[in-house]
């Protein structure tokens, strides 16, 4: 999908419903702050050259929400990437879906086509030419980059500009897995019918199949599963630790001390936590650790009935499991379950109200409150303390303020959307966006759309500046307790802006 600068294509901008393509699906929550005044500063951060076609699906933004990047083209002049006010070199074409910012460090990369060759462009620097390239991946800190390349019939792993030896293939499904500290990288290569693990420039011996791969949160350990001659092994830091008939759902505890997974031996499944094997069952869900790593839970199926196992105990029988989660302080445990045609939430062993469906379980930051969204036939509501709130046509995910004192969520009613905060209904609009709290919980800001016009609401105050939209999925960012910024755009162009707002009590 694309549009021509200075022209509006019908499928891109003409109706509020289409505007959601750039802004994102309306799904909001909010909280009202104290009486305040707001001042605004609008800074243009760039627009494409005149008579350019801009490809909507390529639009992206950096991690601190200060820059935008997108693919554009001019007739007879090729395709190029724009980052704010900078226009990159022209190429025959730019790889669809390849434009990406690093998670940190504000680096950018994409795939360019030159004649019959392809290459990765990193921070406007050209990597070597290959027959094909794909799957650009940055490390978490943005300092490293990997991608898949092909020359003739051989494929290569390219990491930090260094090419591996050639393989018959590189697993696109596995991708490139970096450790959290960005020091380690793992990928899976294929030669014939065998798979080989690549880690930090070293190669494992060939296996029949490599299953899941995970790094520990502290980046000191890695675990993967492999199949050889019909049997599965769990490999931890290069050493076999267990022989099985099947293994899945590898997961580390947050403190990196414990490893858990679902295993199979003969026809029996069971959950393993380090050296302990739990009771046999027909199947089980991914194990879940509490944030402090002291507690452990999973759901399992036995003789046609599901139960939840937690802290060496078992809960009541139900028909189907949903989400399992611990509170931030690890003292509370909740899960969703389906039984006899209805869904419900179980909190610390106590069954809640029954509904047609339940979703979006949220604990408050201090762990003292737990809420969720529920649907009862055609009505939706938010439930807290086993009490259902007012019904609406639709409700979004509840959001707590950082101090846990307030809770807000978006609703739709009779064709309008508004925020419900601590039970109070806000002003109705055509669309409302996700709320963003200040660090001290005294202020909240969110994006609003009425007709074809978009603006920002801060503590019930509506901004003066109007826009044709906001960059899809780009949040409003509080830079301090009283200042925030976001990214918007206006036609013609489109011209992109950084919007800065200061809140004055």
pTM of the complete model = 0.87
Q: What is the CA radius of gyration of the chain?
A: 26
What's the pLDDT score for residue 339? 96
Contacts 24+ apart (CB under 8 A), 223-226: 223/250, 223/252, 223/259, 224/186, 224/197, 224/250, 225/250, 225/261
Residue 429 · residue 422 · CB < 8 Å: no
Phi-psi region of 22 (alpha: psi -120 to 50; beta: other; left: phi over 0): alpha
Q: Could you give the CA distance from residue 326 to residue 296 in angstroms, rounded to a whole number? A: 9
Q: What is the DSSP string of 325-355?
A: EE-TTSS-EEEEEEETTEEEEEETTEEEEEE
* Per-residue CA distances from 316 to 322, 359, 470 (Å): 14, 20, 47
Single out the residue of 356, 413, 365 nearest to residue 383, CA to CA: 356
What's the pLDDT score for residue 20? 31
Residue 441 · residue 402 · CB < 8 Å: yes
Count the Cβ atoms, other than its own, within 10 Å of residue 113. 17
Please give the DSSP secondary-structure letter assigned to residue 20. Answer: H
Query: Under 8 Å CB-to-CB from 462, ≥6 apart: which residues?
Result: 448, 455, 456
* Per-residue CA distances from 395 to 342, 354, 378, 420, 482 (Å): 19, 17, 12, 10, 29
- In the chain (505 residues long), the average pLDDT of successive 10-residue segments reads 30 25 34 68 96 94 97 95 97 96 94 97 96 97 97 97 96 92 97 96 95 97 94 93 92 98 94 94 97 98 96 94 97 97 97 96 97 95 95 94 92 93 92 90 92 94 95 96 97 96 92
Q: Could you give the CA distance from residue 144 to residue 138 in angstroms, rounded to a whole number? A: 6
Residues paired with 210 in a beta bridge: 226
Based on the number of CB atoms within 10 Å of its own CB, is 297 exposed (0-12), middle (13-18) or buried (19 or more)?
buried
- How far does Cα 403 stand from its chain's mean position? 24
Q: Could you give the CA distance from residue 261 to residue 284 in angstroms, rounded to a whole number? A: 9
Query: Under 8 Å CB-to-CB from 11, ≥6 apart: which residues?
Result: 1, 18
């Amino acid at each position: 999908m694309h549009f021509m600068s200075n022209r509006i294509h019908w499928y891109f901008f003409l109706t509020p419903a289409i505007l959601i393509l750039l802004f994102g699906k309306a799904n909001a929550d909010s909280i009202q702050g104290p009486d305040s005044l707001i001042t605004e500063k609008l800074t243009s951060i760039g627009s494409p050259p005149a008579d350019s076609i801009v490809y909507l699906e390529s639009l992206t933004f950096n991690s601190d929400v200060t820059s935008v990047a997108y693919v554009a083209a001019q007739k007879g002049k090729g395709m190029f990437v724009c980052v704010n006010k900078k226009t990159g070199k022209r190429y025959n074409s730019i790889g669809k879906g390849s434009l990406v910012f690093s998670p940190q460090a504000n680096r950018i990369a994409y795939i360019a086509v030159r004649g019959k060759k392809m290459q990765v462009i990193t921070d406007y620097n050209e990597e070597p030419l290959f027959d094909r390239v794909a799957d650009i991946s940055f490390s978490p800190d943005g300092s490293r980059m990997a991608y898949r390349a092909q020359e003739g019939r051989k494929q290569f792993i390219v990491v930090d500009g260094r090419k591996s030896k050639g393989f018959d293939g590189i697993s696109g499904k596995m991708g490139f897995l970096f450790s959290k500290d960005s020091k380690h990288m793992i990928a899976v290569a294929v030669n014939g019918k065998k798979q080989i693990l690549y880690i930090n420039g070293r190669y494992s011996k060939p296996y029949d199949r490599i299953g899941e791969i995970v790094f520990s949160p502290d980046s000191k350990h890695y675990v993967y599963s492999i199949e050889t001659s019909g049997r599965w092994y769990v490999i931890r830091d290069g050493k076999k630790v267990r022989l099985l008939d099947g293994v899945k759902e590898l997961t580390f505890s947050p403190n990196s001390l414990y490893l858990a997974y679902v295993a199979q031996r003969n026809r029996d499944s069971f959950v393993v936590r380090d050296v302990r094997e739990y009771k046999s069952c027909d199947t089980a869900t991914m194990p879940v650790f509490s944030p402090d790593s002291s507690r452990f839970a999973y759901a399992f199926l036995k003789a046609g009935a599901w139960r939840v196992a937690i802290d060496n105990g078992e809960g009541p029988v139900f028909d189907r499991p949903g989400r399992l989660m611990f509170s931030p302080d690890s003292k509370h445990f909740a899960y969703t379950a389906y039984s006899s045609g209805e869904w419900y939430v179980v909190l610390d062993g106590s069954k809640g109200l029954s509904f047609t469906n339940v979703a979006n379980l949220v604990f408050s930051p201090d762990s003292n409150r737990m809420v969720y969204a529920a649907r009862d036939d055609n009505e939706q509501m938010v439930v807290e303390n086993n009490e259902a709130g007012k019904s609406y046509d639709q409700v979004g995910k509840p959001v707590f303020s950082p101090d846990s004192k307030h809770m807000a969520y978006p609703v739709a009613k009779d064709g309008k959307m508004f925020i419900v905060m601590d039970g109070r209904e806000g002003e109705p609009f055509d669309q409302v966006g996700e709320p963003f709290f200040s660090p001290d919980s005294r202020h909240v800001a969110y994006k609003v759309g009425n007709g074809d016009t978009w603006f920002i609401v801060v503590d019930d105050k509506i901004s003066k500046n109007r826009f044709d939209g906001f960059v899809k999925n780009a949040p409003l960012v509080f830079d301090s307790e009283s200042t925030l910024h976001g990214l918007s755009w206006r036609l013609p162009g489109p011209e992109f802006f950084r919007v800065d707002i200061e809140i004055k009590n």
